[in-house]
Amino acid sequence: MASASTAAASAVILGDPAPPTPVRRRLGQAVLVIGSAIVLLLLVAPGLIAHVSPTVTGDDILRPPGGAHWFGTDQLGRDMFSRTIYGARPVLAASLLGVVLATVAGVALGVAAGVAPRWLNSVIMRIIDVLLALPVLLIALILIATAGSGVRSIVIAIGVAFTPGFARIVEASVRTLRSVEYVQAARVFGSTGTRTSVRHLIPNLMTEVVVLGTSAVGWAVLTATTLSFLGLGVQLPQPDWGSDLAAGATNLATSWWLSTFPGLAITLTILAANFIGDYLMTALDPRDGLRLSQNLTTMLTGRRPGNGRPPAGAA
């Protein structure tokens, strides 16, 4: 009963993963692989998908979607399909890098607070409480007010704004892990705080951190596009989903396609990110506390190392 309620508690924090059926597992693997491939392609070589430059203007202005221009053209005759494809780069770069930054900082801070003496722990955690008391978007806006607009500022803004939440969760896990036998044993054998952290705590936190980071990508995309929607990201005429959506809003009544396609792109990205996050959560199941390498094996082969239990729904 007790374990069921803890499972429910973490389900509330991390979301409510559906039970992994074979179809869901295949779908999850497919979305993960295809999604990563698309993200990589959009980041590295968007020109392979869209052959027209996103900034080149033309005489064909405000043309509705059709054969020549799949997503139509804007008031300067720029191809919206190309702008939507190229517009992925600043959004994906800002949100992914922001999450990586927040993950690294959050883990460092959380582990440091978790192994620190009691008084230092209180100081760090009170500071984190203050930062958590401020809405994420407000922190991001404050940082952009100080650092100026641009993709780099958005990366920093997301990184800093997401750090306190990560640090709080990691700190809680470290405190639980500290009482686990092998960590206690390491300390009895004279392992220093740093060595214990690097050799024992961090590797055992990795699964949780990966799940946490993946679940945050959807929110990061939302935050990044909100900021660029406000004109604080990439400056026109460079393409960006958020700023293109805002720019199209003025012509909404006559040219619906200008805002709709960047908006759909954002929605699809968040949808895919959340789906992958949910999938990784069920597939890796951080509550089992296995190391990431073991969990990845489980996820990819559908087989748990060691215990010999046949995985649910294996073909």
Partner 1 sequence: MLAYVLRRLAAAVPVVFGITIVAFLLIHLVPGDPAKILLFGTNATPAQLANLRRQLGLEDPLWRQYFSFISQLLHGDLGTSYLTQNSVAHEILSRTPSTLELTGAAMVVAVVIGVPLGMLGGAFPNSLADRAARAVSFLGVAVPYFFLALLLVLLFSVRLHWLPAIDNGSVTGLILPAVSLGWGYAAILTRLVRGRLIEEYRSEYVKSARARGCTEWRVLLRHALRNSSIPAITTIGLQFGNILTGAAITEVIFGRPGLGSFLATAISNKNIPVVQGAVVVIGIGYVLINLIVDLIVGAVDPRTRAAGLA
10 or 184: whose CB is closer to partner 1?
10
148 or 305: whose CB is closer to partner 1?
148
Task: Give bridge partners of residue 79 from the DSSP assignment.
Answer: 73
Helix (H) / strand (E) containing 148: none
- Residue 105 CB, shortest distance to partner 1, in Å, is 17
- Residue 216 CB, shortest distance to partner 1, in Å, is 13
84 or 225: whose CB is closer to partner 1?
225
113 or 222: whose CB is closer to partner 1?
222
- Residue 126 CB, shortest distance to partner 1, in Å, is 6
Taking the C-alpha atoms of residue 187 and residue 278, their distance in angstroms, rounded to an integer, is 35
Binding site for partner 1 (CB under 8 A): 4-5, 8, 11-12, 15-16, 126-127, 129-131, 133-138, 141-142, 144-146, 148-149, 218, 222, 225-226, 229-232, 245-246, 249, 252-253, 256, 259-260, 263, 266-268, 270-271, 274
Per the CB < 8 A criterion, the answer to whether 228 and 277 are in contact is no
User: How many helices (H) and strands (E) would you count in the chain?
Assistant: 13, 0
Neighbours of 72 (CB within 10 A): 21
52 or 127: whose CB is closer to partner 1?
127
- Residue 221 CB, shortest distance to partner 1, in Å, is 9
- Residue 283 CB, shortest distance to partner 1, in Å, is 18
- Residue 240 CB, shortest distance to partner 1, in Å, is 14
Neighbours of 43 (CB within 10 A): 13
Taking the C-alpha atoms of residue 139 and residue 157, their distance in angstroms, rounded to an integer, is 7
Q: What would the two tokens of residue 177 be? A: 């892990």
146 or 179: whose CB is closer to partner 1?
146
Per the CB < 8 A criterion, the answer to whether 103 and 167 are in contact is no
- Residue 130 CB, shortest distance to partner 1, in Å, is 3
204 or 226: whose CB is closer to partner 1?
226
Taking the C-alpha atoms of residue 67 and residue 75, their distance in angstroms, rounded to an integer, is 18
**Quick one: angle between helices 88-115 and 241-249, nearest 10?**
130
Tell me how far CA of residue 153 lies from CA of 95, 140, 141, 219, 237, in angstroms: 11, 9, 10, 17, 19
